[in-house]
Structure 1
Amino acid sequence: MRKKRNISQFLIFILAIAFMLAGCGSADNSKKAPSEETKGKTDKIIRVGYQKGNTINILKESGILEKKLEKDGYKVEWKEFSHGYGLLEGLFAGNIDFGHAADGPGIFAQASDKPLVYAGADLPNPEGVGVLVHKESGIKSIKELKGKKIGALKGGNHHYLAILALKDAGLSVDDVEWVFFKEAAEARAAFETKRIDALASYDPFLAAAEIDLNTINLTEGKDYGYPNRTFYYANVDFNKEHPELVDLILEAIDESDKWANENKPEVVKLLSKMIGIDEKIIDKAINRRKYGVDRINEEIIAAQQKQADIYYEIGLIPKKVDVSKDMPIK
């Protein structure tokens, strides 16, 4: 009897510890990732993901979004990511509600059946990507890159531009040797030391290479039918439960973008300080673009579908995707 009583007491003790730990775990998890039931309602927190140097930085510094949300009792939590793929992973996991990333990550996500919503897009920025060669290389056209090494970040907007430029010149992706890097700085170093013949890049890294090095931009002034838009993405549940907040965020971005267009010298100082890149580089990058928000439309869908189709054709994604299923027109 005494032995049974001891076992019973032991079991009660274990159960008590288990309940206590479960309670602690729940409290901890609620701080990290609020449930769908309470997120944005009880806590009234909207979590926005951004990368250093993109347009959401301007919104973050302006305070416009906070002011718009204040009357309804919402607060904004800003979360920084080093690249677009990481930002979208945060979106899929429910760690953020809204964020900003390039076109390529969206296509890769759709090809992997990851849940997202294209909420809107930046205005086109075709001059923000390019393919550079050293002036002393003697290469003066895309056609002359046949058999040469081109550096890029695989699947990036600049990679896509280079693919379009090769096609336009009558070359295929197999007519060149691709050298893929994980970081823009790594690609720049390889180009500077001439381990690659050409560099496909994007602003502000493109502008930096153009200013610092003696280069020719082989795609400058050419129209390849590529708008080079960056997209605003929303978490599926957040978009479904709070479409009015998604609209409000886009309105706030457009408002801060209009301010940016009228105050580019201030934007240069802001982004230069934030990214740690020389002001003249930032100045070159932002003065060849116009800020603003476009809502999803047929033209945007068609351009993104073309990019997705080409990515499938050359084996960058494992299957065909219908981009329109995650690009609602309002």
Structure 2
Amino acid sequence: MIRRLAAASVSLAALLSLTACGADSSAEAGGKGPVTLTIGDQAKTLQTIVAASGALKGADYKVKWAEFEGAAPLFQAVQAGAADTTYSADLPALQALSGGVRFKNVAALKNDGRHVGIVVPKGSGIDSVKDLKGQKVVVSSAKGSISEYLLANALKQNGLSYSDVKVQYLLPTDAQAAFASGKIKAWATFGVYQAVGLGQGGKLLVDGADGRVSGYGFVGASDEALADSGKKVALTDFLKRLGTALQWTSTHQDAYAKAIEQRNGADPTVAKTLASAAYSKVLPLSPDVNRTVQGVADLMNGIGVLEPNVDVADSADTSLLK
């Protein structure tokens, strides 16, 4: 059974998506090989990256895209056999594993964590994380989001417990409106919403840099796909090509932002923010990666958000990407 997937956090791109939940598109990766990979995606994020970079040219397998607005329906599709792969930040993957979805993480993604932050209004009297004690903090979007992890970890690093604040969960658009009207004193948010809050006169209290969030995301593969030798070979090749594509986005941010505008209908400001927050690397699932994300799992389990806890190393298949 899948448990609590409705509470899994959605990606930044997913929240900004104008596409319908569960909409599918397909593309040929080149050649006419017998293998077809159904790649799970959120809000055309991976599709946009590989199309703009040309990373799939010359591949001898086909790619069909399984397109969703957020992590929760994507993991549900993997559980139902409608997608071969997953793509999410660390916490949605942990939530899905905790909920019994049958997949393994096969590669890690990395960014610098600065796209997650706690924003406070100027003049709020909150000048440090320690000043959050006794305050109500709005977390976007759902229980178990990366924003919630930043809040929990920042409190821990400053000698406070999670019970020292009063947490309220609000979808980013609702929280944005409440913040603009002065109804929020502290907002744990991310990406474009973080930028909007700062543009509305907010002050960045702390962000996810310097290890306050892991900065890791994951590509996973269903147990069925990993048991199919042809798909496993194709997926190994896809991961290498995705790594090339992400390197391209980090060195061609203007071109990537333009591709986001064209394919997702985002305005230029949103597109630039999305481009700057993108993962820039595909990494093997090394002991260091697993250890770091295990720390995320342990902390979220400790505050009652991730239950049962997850053994990150046992949930990894390291055979595809060395």
- Contact 2:261–2:268 (CA under 8 A) maintained in structure 1: yes
Tell me the residue number matched to 1:307. Answer: 296
- Are 1:319 and 2:317 matched, yes or no? no
Tell me the residue number matched to 1:99. Answer: 86
Tell me the residue number matched to 1:132. Answer: 119
- Contact 2:44–2:67 (CA under 8 A) maintained in structure 1: no
Q: Which runs of no fewer than 5 residues in structure 1 stay unpaired?
A: 1-31, 33-40
Give the C-alpha shift of residue 124 in structure 1: 3.0
SS at structure 2 position matched to 1:126: coil
Tell me the residue number matched to 1:84. Answer: 71
Bigger Rg, structure 1 or 2? 1
Tell me the residue number matched to 1:244. Answer: 233
Q: Which runs of no fewer than 5 residues in structure 2 stay unpaired?
A: 1-23, 25-31
Give the C-alpha shift of residue 324 in structure 1: 1.2
Tell me the residue number matched to 1:19. Answer: none
Question: How far apart in 2 are the matches of 1:140 and 1:63?
Answer: 46
Decide which moves more: 298-307 or 135-144. 135-144
- Contact 1:207–1:281 (CA under 8 A) maintained in structure 2: no
CA 1:53–1:43: 2 relative to 1, 3 Å: closer
- Contact 1:268–1:279 (CA under 8 A) maintained in structure 2: yes
SS at structure 2 position matched to 1:137: coil
CA 1:276–1:46: 2 relative to 1, 3 Å: same
Amino acid at match of 2:246: D
The list of structure 1 runs, each at least 4 consecutive aligned residues, that deviate by more than 6 angstroms after superposition, is none
Decide which moves more: 111-120 or 42-51. 42-51
Decide which moves more: 320-329 or 49-58. 49-58
- Contact 2:257–2:268 (CA under 8 A) maintained in structure 1: yes
CA 1:68–1:185: 2 relative to 1, 3 Å: farther
- Are 1:169 and 2:155 matched, yes or no? no
Tell me the residue number matched to 1:3. Answer: none
Find 1:50's aligned residue among 28, 34, 41: 41
Give the C-alpha shift of residue 115 in structure 1: 0.8
Question: How far apart in 2 are the matches of 1:326 and 1:318?
Answer: 15
Question: How far apart in 2 are the matches of 1:293 and 1:169?
Answer: 32
Deviation track 1:213-242 (CA, whole Å, cap 9, x = no partner) reads: 111111148634532212111111112313
Amino acid at match of 2:172: A
Tell me the residue number matched to 1:278. Answer: 267
Question: How far apart in 2 are the matches of 1:274 and 1:197?
Answer: 36
CA 1:161–1:220: 2 relative to 1, 3 Å: closer
Give the C-alpha shift of residue 273 in structure 1: 4.0
Question: How far apart in 2 are the matches of 1:261 and 1:282?
Answer: 14
Amino acid at match of 2:201: N
Output aligned runs, 1:259-298, within 5 Å: 259-287=248-276, 291-298=280-287
- Contact 2:146–2:213 (CA under 8 A) maintained in structure 1: no
Find 2:149's aligned residue among 160, 169, 172: 160
Amino acid at match of 1:45: T
Question: How far apart in 1 are the matches of 2:91 and 2:193?
Answer: 18
- Contact 1:103–1:231 (CA under 8 A) maintained in structure 2: yes
Question: How far apart in 2 are the matches of 1:175 and 1:124?
Answer: 29
CA 1:158–1:214: 2 relative to 1, 3 Å: same
Question: How far apart in 2 are the matches of 1:105 and 1:290?
Answer: 16
**In the comparison of the two structures, how many residue pairs are matched?**
285
Deviation track 1:273-305 (CA, whole Å, cap 9, x = no partner) reads: 444443234424534666121111111101111
Question: How far apart in 2 are the matches of 1:96 and 1:290?
Answer: 22
Normalised to the residue count of structure 1, the TM-score between the two structures is 0.79
Question: How far apart in 2 are the matches of 1:171 and 1:99?
Answer: 34
Normalised to the residue count of structure 2, the TM-score between the two structures is 0.80
Amino acid at match of 1:322: D
CA RMSD of aligned residues (A): 2.4
Amino acid at match of 1:177: K
- Contact 2:114–2:209 (CA under 8 A) maintained in structure 1: no
Question: How far apart in 2 are the matches of 1:197 and 1:177?
Answer: 12
Question: How far apart in 1 are the matches of 2:52 and 2:94?
Answer: 29
- Are 1:189 and 2:177 matched, yes or no? yes
Give the C-alpha shift of residue 207 in structure 1: 2.6
Find 2:188's aligned residue among 197, 200, 210: 200
- Contact 1:59–1:256 (CA under 8 A) maintained in structure 2: yes
Tell me the residue number matched to 2:110. Answer: 123
CA 1:150–1:134: 2 relative to 1, 3 Å: same
Deviation track 1:249-271 (CA, whole Å, cap 9, x = no partner) reads: 11111111122122111111222
Amino acid at match of 1:86: P
Question: How far apart in 1 are the matches of 2:135 and 2:47?
Answer: 37
Identity between Structure 1 and Structure 2 (%): 26
Tell me the residue number matched to 2:219. Answer: 232
SS at structure 2 position matched to 1:204: helix
